[in-house]
Chain A
Amino acid sequence: MILVLAGCSKSSGEEDAAGANTLQLSIHHIVNGKPLVLNDSIYYNTFQEPFTVTAFKYYLSNFSLTTTDGKTVTLKQSYYLVNQADSTSRQLVMSGIPDGSYQTLSFLIGVDSLTNVAGPQSGALDVVNGMYWAWNSGYINAKFEGKSDVSTSTANLLQFHIGGFIAPSNTIRTVQLTLAQPQLWSGGQHTIQATADLYTWFDLPNPISFAKFAGTMEPNADAMKVADNYQHMFQITSITTP
């Protein structure tokens, strides 16, 4: 009976037990300073090659906060499929965060390896979302699709499906964002505004020319290079706290 009671109190009172702070991470998609608009807007990569964007989405997971004294607070596990085509998907709400003085927000771009091997999932991880490879088991961690006149692929397409969770093609990347000043949280909703810049995908450390490389759709060295680029795509622009 102890087990039964414990099981019940956990499922009904999780937030109280864990903490009274809620974090809303609000993500804005940009391309080198300009707001990202699907389909029609023309952008330029680092080689001044023009391109349009038809799809831009990626998984974020395994969020944690680090306190000023170096303690890691793991947030309740959730998988977010952030999608330019779905504005609500760009508002990530994480509740049950304990009071504390926080310095760093960390998360993964992608789906951790345990979940990759865990079998059929629901919600954001449901394979109906088109972010999973059937022939070579594993999630597509991030996807960009578009067009560029310089692309030599069929219909000038750009197709960057970045996935792979096994070395040497492990494309899961950790992002650590330092908060401008320590955040002393003692309840309420806190909002972090951040940008995710698609331009970074094709910039440093591996500048990508669409004339030479129009994408990849399997775990490989090219996917690793793109992941090494896009791990720098996030930047915090403001933090508001009650």
Chain B
Amino acid sequence: MIRKATVVSLCMAACWAALVVACRHNDAVLSTTPHPYTLSLPDNFPPVQYDFASNPLTEEGIALGRVIFYDSKLSADSLVSCAFCHQQYAAFGHYDHALSHGVYGRIGVRTVPSIFNMIWNKAYMWDGGVINLDMQPLTPLTDHNEMGEDLPTLLLHMQADANYRKLFKAAFGTEEVTSQRMFRAVIQFVATLNSFHSKYDSVKAGNASFTPDEAAGYEVFQQNCATCHQEPLFTDGSFRNNGLPVQPALNDSGRMRITGNASDYLKFKVPSLRNIIRTEPYMHDGRFFDIFNVFDHYDHGIVQSATLDPLLKNGIPLNSAQQRQLYLFLNTLTDYQLLNDKTLADPATPQ
């Protein structure tokens, strides 16, 4: 089956032009063909989860997605773009904001997750409620506490905008703005937000070496953190209760809200530790503003409960020397290429 699929796809590629001519005789849709874009991905990462076949990356699709990502006019009060909460310098998280901020000053109930390496994720949002990456843009665009816009209205606004019509035509062949096209374009851009150029990656590739403190911190990490924050993504993508005391004001049941299963009470997605020093505050509700507060939580703050992850039953004892070493190791996970890549920045800002 695999072999057959390969042959068919090769033939599809080779014969595409012929097909267009033969079958689309009454349709000049593909007069300008978008240019395919190939992501270069690291060899030592697991296979991507994202189905690129359903949304092939093109230069024009990514460019459109980037414009949408940075366009605050798409929100109900014209102030909140995707990038408002997903800031490049914060590894596409929201620096220094505990709970997500939305239109008209509304505050959400969870912290903004940083969105890089999404193509390796299986489920999205802190509770895994979104299961297809291409559907993800719908949530922030329409959520009352986020961009708060009515989707049909939003699509009409985009359709009325000459620049969007031009960009949609370049990316998809016609000027028609649809939710399907918009979501796919946004995710084409998001698919380019990947982090694998940290010092840690250079060390793994044999092109750099850890300082003695970083090396000691790496050992602390491997012995205490690596089961959940599995390398090389620094998350295993699972949902776990890490023993945080419940905040009564939020009373967030976590993944149980999605599954309805009591065994998922207080479970949240394990976040990646890549760029962690740039993505404060921490935890699903942003309750810790300093990574050392996080260390303290694992050292002596764990609350026992029925759904507490068994690995955390006795906490993670970390003395101050280990905490310092761990902090220095976590710094090696900052990916300055991702944080500074101008092709990922606001296209409206002169470079």
A contacts, CB < 8 Å to B: 1, 3-4, 7-8, 11-12, 117-122, 126-128, 132, 134-137, 168-169, 219-220
Digitize B2-19: 1 where CB-to-A-CB distance is under 8 Å, 0 elsewhere: 000000100110010011
Docked Cα-Cα span, A117 to B123, in Å, equals 11
User: Is B22 in contact with chain A by the CB < 8 A criterion?
Assistant: yes
Q: A126-B180, A128-B152 are in contact. Are A136 and B258 (CB under 8 A)?
A: yes
User: Is B44 in contact with chain A by the CB < 8 A criterion?
Assistant: no
B23, B130, B143: the one contacting A137 at CB < 8 Å is B130
Q: Are A120 and B129 in contact (CB under 8 A)?
A: no
Digitize B75-119: 1 where CB-to-A-CB distance is under 8 Å, 0 elsewhere: 000000000000000000000000000000000000000000000
User: Is B306 in contact with chain A by the CB < 8 A criterion?
Assistant: no
Docked Cα-Cα span, A121 to B181, in Å, equals 9
The 8 A-B residue pairs whose C-beta atoms are closest, nearest first, are: A120-B180, A119-B134, A134-B139, A134-B138, A136-B129, A120-B183, A119-B132, A137-B131
Q: Are A4 and B143 in contact (CB under 8 A)?
A: no
User: Is B263 in contact with chain A by the CB < 8 A criterion?
Assistant: no
Q: Which residues of B contact A137 (CB under 8 A)?
A: 129-132, 135
Interface of A is mostly: loop
Docked Cα-Cα span, A126 to B55, in Å, equals 16
Q: Are B15 and A4 in contact (CB under 8 A)?
A: yes
User: Is B206 in contact with chain A by the CB < 8 A criterion?
Assistant: no
Q: Which residues of B contact A168 (CB under 8 A)?
A: 260
Q: Are B179 and A120 in contact (CB under 8 A)?
A: yes
Q: Of all chain A residues, which has the CB nearest B22?
A: A8
In this complex, how many residues of chain B approach chain A with their Cβ under 8 Å: the count is: 34
Docked Cα-Cα span, A136 to B264, in Å, equals 15
Q: Can you give 18 A-B contacts (C-beta < 8 A)?
A: A8-B23, A117-B131, A118-B54, A119-B51, A119-B132, A119-B133, A119-B134, A120-B134, A120-B184, A126-B178, A127-B135, A127-B151, A134-B138, A134-B143, A135-B129, A137-B131, A137-B132, A169-B260
B contacts, CB < 8 Å to A: 8, 11-12, 15, 18-19, 22-23, 51, 54-55, 125, 129-135, 138-139, 142-143, 151-152, 155, 178-180, 183-184, 257-258, 260
Q: Of all chain A residues, which has the CB nearest B153?
A: A128
Docked Cα-Cα span, A51 to B89, in Å, equals 54
Q: Which residues of A contact B138 (CB under 8 A)?
A: 127, 132, 134
Q: Which residues of B contact A7 (CB under 8 A)?
A: 19, 23
Interface of B is mostly: helix
Docked Cα-Cα span, A4 to B16, in Å, equals 8
Q: How far, in Å, is A140 (CB) from chain B's closest CB?
A: 13
Q: Which residues of B contact A219 (CB under 8 A)?
A: 260
Q: Are B179 and A4 in contact (CB under 8 A)?
A: no
B22, B131, B260: the one contacting A4 at CB < 8 Å is B22
Q: Which residues of A contact B180 (CB under 8 A)?
A: 120-122, 126
Q: Are A12 and B135 in contact (CB under 8 A)?
A: no
Q: How far, in Å, is A112 (CB) from chain B's closest CB?
A: 15
Q: Which residues of B contact A4 (CB under 8 A)?
A: 15, 18-19, 22
Q: Of all chain B residues, which has the CB nearest A3?
A: B11
Q: How far, in Å, is B138 (CB) from chain A's closest CB?
A: 4
Q: Which residues of A contact B139 (CB under 8 A)?
A: 134-135
Q: How far, in Å, is B147 (CB) from chain A's closest CB?
A: 12
Q: Are B179 and A128 in contact (CB under 8 A)?
A: yes
Q: Which residues of A contact B22 (CB under 8 A)?
A: 4, 8
Docked Cα-Cα span, A118 to B133, in Å, equals 10
Q: How far, in Å, is B222 (CB) from chain A's closest CB?
A: 35
Q: Which residues of A contact B11 (CB under 8 A)?
A: 3
Q: Of all chain B residues, which has the CB nearest A7?
A: B19
Q: Which residues of B contact A8 (CB under 8 A)?
A: 19, 22-23
Q: How far, in Å, is B256 (CB) from chain A's closest CB?
A: 12
A12, A128, A220: the one contacting B155 at CB < 8 Å is A128
Docked Cα-Cα span, A12 to B138, in Å, equals 35
Q: Which residues of A contact B155 (CB under 8 A)?
A: 128
Q: Are B152 and A119 in contact (CB under 8 A)?
A: no
Q: How far, in Å, is A28 (CB) from chain B's closest CB?
A: 28
Docked Cα-Cα span, A226 to B130, in Å, equals 24
Q: Are B142 and A134 in contact (CB under 8 A)?
A: yes
Q: How far, in Å, is B57 (CB) from chain A's closest CB?
A: 15
Q: A119-B135, A127-B151 are in contact. Are A1 and B15 (CB under 8 A)?
A: yes
Most chain A C-beta atoms within 10 Å of own C-beta, residue among B132, B155, B180: B180
Q: How far, in Å, is B171 (CB) from chain A's closest CB?
A: 14
Docked Cα-Cα span, A132 to B179, in Å, equals 12
Q: How far, in Å, is A49 (CB) from chain B's closest CB?
A: 28
Q: Of all chain B residues, which has the CB nearest A2?
A: B11
Q: How far, in Å, is B284 (CB) from chain A's closest CB?
A: 15
Docked Cα-Cα span, A136 to B50, in Å, equals 19
Q: How far, in Å, is A95 (CB) from chain B's closest CB?
A: 20
Q: A122-B180, A127-B151, A137-B132 are in contact. List 20 more A-B contacts (CB 8 A).
A: A3-B8, A3-B11, A3-B12, A4-B18, A4-B19, A8-B22, A117-B131, A119-B55, A119-B133, A119-B135, A120-B179, A127-B135, A128-B155, A128-B179, A132-B138, A134-B143, A135-B129, A135-B143, A137-B130, A137-B135
Docked Cα-Cα span, A71 to B55, in Å, equals 37
